[in-house]
Chains A and B, each alone.
Chain A
Amino acid sequence: MPVPEPESASAESQSLTKAQKKAEGRARQEQQRAAKAAQKQQQQSGQNAGSSSNKSKGSTVQKKPASESNKIPSAAASSSKDAPTTREGAVGADGLSDGPKSRGLRIFSHFGLPKTPGHQIKGDIHPAIVKLGLQFSEFKICGANARCIATLTAFKTVIQDYVTPPHNTLSRHLMTHLSPQITHLVTARPMSVTMGNAIRQLKLEISGSDIDLPEQDAKDALCQEIDNYIRDRIIIADEVIEDLAVKKIKDGDVVLTYARSSLVEKILLRAHALNKRFSVIVIDSRPLLEGKTLLHSLTSVIPPIPCTYALLPALPSLITDADIVLLGAHSLHANGSVYSRAGTAMVAMLAKEHSVPVMLCCETYKFSETVMLDGFGKNELAPMKFSPDAPKSNSNLEVLNPLYDSTPASCITAVVTEVGLIPPTSISSIPLALGRTTL
């Protein structure tokens, strides 16, 4: 395609200011192109800075980038007010320095690296715990409730196989036997709040067990306590929560949920069993894509629950259709913030913005007395096996898959617990949640 002949352009610029401006603009653009080309050349040769600034004459504004990138320290420092790091920046741009990376790492360092399966076994670890550790680190057992139940069940085996060494009492020694088991599980995957709460309760029971009791009886009593804990704090609690939450789902409602919470799944299935007519929007996101599991179970009932599936970026398009949002939680904190699967916070935030009520379903044993201000302070990374398609990390690129985030209390309308619907900030006034009442 031929470019129009220059003579008409010159005729224009003679007569009209507008055309003149235009011509100027064109000249400037050409200059820029020239400057860019020059810059490229310069970068290739990497030297001889002065010549380019001479080459590109005319408008100084456009010249600056070219000249600065050519590492004239004085020019760069004078033109950019707060750029003492110009040199380093330029070096970094060459990809030779890994300065930026180490700085970035410092910010994320506390996330810890994802654990590789088959980690070291230190000390006397019970086979049930070894197996569990492996299941944790490979995410075969995942979710706050599942992990807590699995841990307690494994501890039951450990306790039954435990023999109090001579000159020791069970109430004093059993805990020292359990501690390395717990440590092993924590090295497999950071401990969940639920596990922490359950273990604290177990410790209390162990230290309180009667010294005069025959060993087998004491062990049976402890196992009974564990069973009670699982039954009262998780299984029965879930049933009560299901009852409460189902009441809030009305015929014709569209329920939106994120990823997969075992409790939300049970609530939806219960509502379906009660012949409520509702549909579900499942929002999902990498790294775990747990929503697909939820979809499977929601669509495999008869008749299947009408479901819509979308990834997190599509949420703004769907949130307006929702009548209620049901979410699960990993733990609930003293300031009312909710620690849950990464992405939950954004679902709650958007729901609040569209005044869709957000119901968080959470048993009281998930309460933690700590305060959580944002999802950055405490987090965990998913292992790389969940992102097979992602580009490989290199000196400048790092792939992070945080597993959790923290939802502020203001985004949650109500928390459904086994003691009723409460605002998230009131959880700390429930004695049961604080573990002050023993079951």
Chain B
Amino acid sequence: MASDPQSAANQRIVEDLVSRLRRRQLVGSRATALETLLVLRQVVSKARFSNIDQLVNIIRSVGRRLVDAQPKEHSVGNTVRKVLHHIREEYHTANEQPAAESSFSIAKFVLQGQPRKQATIPSSESRVLLKENDPDDPDSFARVLKPVLMEAIQDVFDELETVYDNISKNAKDHIHSDEIILTLGMSKTVDSFLKAAAHYRNYTVIVAETAPSYGGREMAKSLSSAGISTFLVPDSSIYALMSRVNKVILGAHAILANGGMFATSGSLLAATAARSYSTPVVVCAGQFKLTPLWNLYHEYGALDFGDPSAVLCFDEGDLVDKVDVVNPYYDYVRPELLDVFITN
């Protein structure tokens, strides 16, 4: 494999993304999802394989390296899983096996429930025949399947491209006139959601600064430039203002299998404060953030820590030596604190 010039090129683009992920030059779930998809498309288009297992293995190994580079960036893994799913699906449709369909076993019953009267289209129609492991022409399999796969990847692409619009399209049903919304951090999803609602509704947003990244400041600038009445407050006043807030709208980093989520640190505080005032908490997130994982480390958000100098800068020289500084990136928010997820 390594000697192959094409796979060497693949290696290079994978390495490039890996290092950018590792250095945190690439942040934001959607951006990483898009980049991952680009790499996968490249890999698939250049890869040489003669059966489905080879292809799946190639993608898996690429996926593993990307995930290892930044295990907390769940959208990488999600994207890889999604692509794999599409590839398998395309493969199965292209390579229909009526024999397997008809058999009805207990295991299958357990997995899929009652057999449905699905119109299994007779495979007699003109289908491109897939030949796996053809010794004469090892590339024939790839040649036939690749266009289909590229299309599948394109589908994922399109979904990612339009994710903000799709989430925002119902914004006006969630935000009503004269409401006061609290949000925090910088989330593109929430930003576009709020802006979409601003076309129809007249409302006020309170943005918490979200130390130490102060992403809230950016968010406040962006929202106010779109004509939304915006108040920027420090994180400390979330509780004091919560009694006047009608709704808390949060972005997510990843939504987990149990309905909890990883989100910018500060989200848990806001969600807990909202709960004590019975204020609904709405989470806006694209489907690519749905992660089939569980959080085993409830306490330390995602066990991912940022640069301590953002919290206590090195000007405070004498302090830095004596003091432990903690700056976690993410909070884990339990499912019972969240009311609604809005996805595309």
Contact = CB atoms under 8 A, between A and B. Distances in A.
Contacts of A104: 204, 229, 231
Interface string B43-86: 00100000000000000000000000000000000000000000
Interface in B253-298: 264-266, 268-269, 272-273, 276
A83 B272 contact: no
Contacts of A343: 235-237, 239
A301 to B, nearest CB: 11
Contacts of A217: none
A317 B299 contact: yes
A398 B230 contact: yes
B232 interface: yes
A95 interface: yes
Nearest to A343: B236
Interface in B142-180: 147-148, 150-151, 154-155, 158-159, 161-162, 165-166, 168-169, 172, 176-178, 180
B240 A65 contact: no
Contact of B269 (A17, A316, A374): A316
Contacts of A97: 227
A308 B323 contact: yes
Contacts of B323: 295, 299, 307-309
A73 to B, nearest CB: 12
Given A295-B323, A345-B240, A400-B232, A9 B172 contact: no
A165 interface: no
A342 B312 contact: no
A103 to B, nearest CB: 7
A62 to B, nearest CB: 7
A396 B155 contact: no
Contact of B237 (A64, A390, A391, A405): A405
B328 A350 contact: no
A318 B166 contact: no
Contact of B234 (A307, A375, A401): A401
B324 A308 contact: yes
Interface string A24-46: 01100110110010000000000
B314 interface: no
A15 to B, nearest CB: 6
B93 A92 contact: no
Contacts of B154: 3-4, 26
Contacts of B169: 61-62, 64-65
Contacts of B202: 85, 88-89, 92, 99-100, 103
A95 B147 contact: no
Interface string A283-302: 00111000010011001000
Q: How large is the interface on B (under 10, 10 to 19, 20 to 34, 35 or more residues)?
A: 35 or more
B114 to A, nearest CB: 19
Nearest to A373: B243
Given A82-B177, A100-B229, A309 B325 contact: yes
Contacts of A311: 211-212, 235, 311, 327
Contact of A32 (B42, B151, B162): B162
Given A4-B154, A312-B236, A376 B231 contact: no
Contacts of A99: 202
A338 to B, nearest CB: 12
Nearest to B266: A313
A9 B162 CA distance: 20
A341 B236 contact: yes
A83 to B, nearest CB: 5
Contacts of B324: 306-309
Nearest to A404: B240
Interface string B171-209: 010001110100000000000000010111111100001
Given A18-B93, A94-B227, A104-B229, A85 B301 contact: no
Contacts of A96: 227
B198 A4 contact: no
Nearest to A316: B268
Interface stretch (B25-33, B99-107, B213-221): B213-221
B121 interface: yes
A213 interface: no
Contacts of B229: 92, 100-101, 103-104, 396
A3 B198 CA distance: 35
A219 B204 CA distance: 55
B197 to A, nearest CB: 9
A286 B231 contact: no
A286 B209 contact: yes
B123 to A, nearest CB: 9
Interface in A1-30: 1, 3-5, 8-9, 12, 15-19, 22, 25-26, 29-30
A313 B210 contact: yes
Contact of B265 (A30, A317, A345): A317
A389 interface: yes
A171 interface: no
Given A16-B121, A85-B202, A107-B244, A314 B239 contact: no
Contact of B236 (A93, A285, A398): A285
Contacts of A12: 93, 148, 151
B237 A402 contact: yes
B72 to A, nearest CB: 14
Contacts of A61: 169
B200 A8 contact: no
Q: Which are the 9 A-B pairs with shortest beta-carbon distances?
A: A100-B229, A343-B236, A375-B240, A313-B266, A397-B224, A405-B240, A396-B224, A95-B227, A4-B150
28 contacts: A5-B147, A18-B93, A29-B162, A33-B161, A68-B199, A80-B172, A88-B202, A89-B202, A100-B202, A107-B244, A292-B319, A299-B323, A309-B326, A313-B211, A313-B264, A314-B326, A315-B269, A316-B269, A316-B331, A320-B299, A374-B240, A376-B243, A389-B214, A396-B225, A399-B233, A401-B233, A404-B240, A405-B240
Given A104-B204, A379-B240, 4 more contacts: A92-B228, A285-B234, A286-B211, A374-B240
